[in-house]
Amino acid sequence: MSDNISRSSGAHPALRTSTFPCMRCGLTVTLLGPGGERRNHCPSCLHSRHTLDQAEGGGSDCQGRMSPLSIAVSRTGEWALVHRCTRCRELALHPVCGDDNQLILMRLAVRPLAEPPFPLEVFGEL
């Protein structure tokens, strides 16, 4: 955590005050999260803008809305949002920030258990 604080204190002043409007809900979002990490999604609705094309390794001209699809957890236990572009359908991982909407994060995390791809009656037959 102290690493995040040191990064935020050393951040360029423009980054500390930079904002962007959410494409979905219109919230004005600060570019830096509470721990000093760079944010690319709305902490309220978790949507983002497609600005980096992973396949090409550079800037994307798509600019579509990135919808939160799921949660991925790294081996170190860090959570990341799995986003899918509503325009070009590309998938991307974005780190979760400390002030992200916890209710939406939990809904995304439990969705595979709440909506399994098979009938639950199968367990009665085992």
Q: Strand, coil or helix: what is 1? A: coil
Secondary structure in 3-state letters for 45-89: CCCEECCEECCCCEECCCCCEEEEEEEEECCCCCEEEEEEECCCC
User: Domain map of the chain by residue range?
Assistant: 2-112
- Indicate whether this model's pTM tops 0.85: no
The C-alpha atoms of residue 36 and residue 98 are separated, in whole angstroms, by: 10
CB atoms within 10 A of CB 69: 15
pLDDT tens digit at each of 126 positions of the chain: 334 433 444 555 555 578 889 989 989 998 888 888 888 899 999 999 887 655 555 555 788 899 999 999 999 999 999 999 999 999 999 999 999 999 999 999 999 888 888 888 877 776
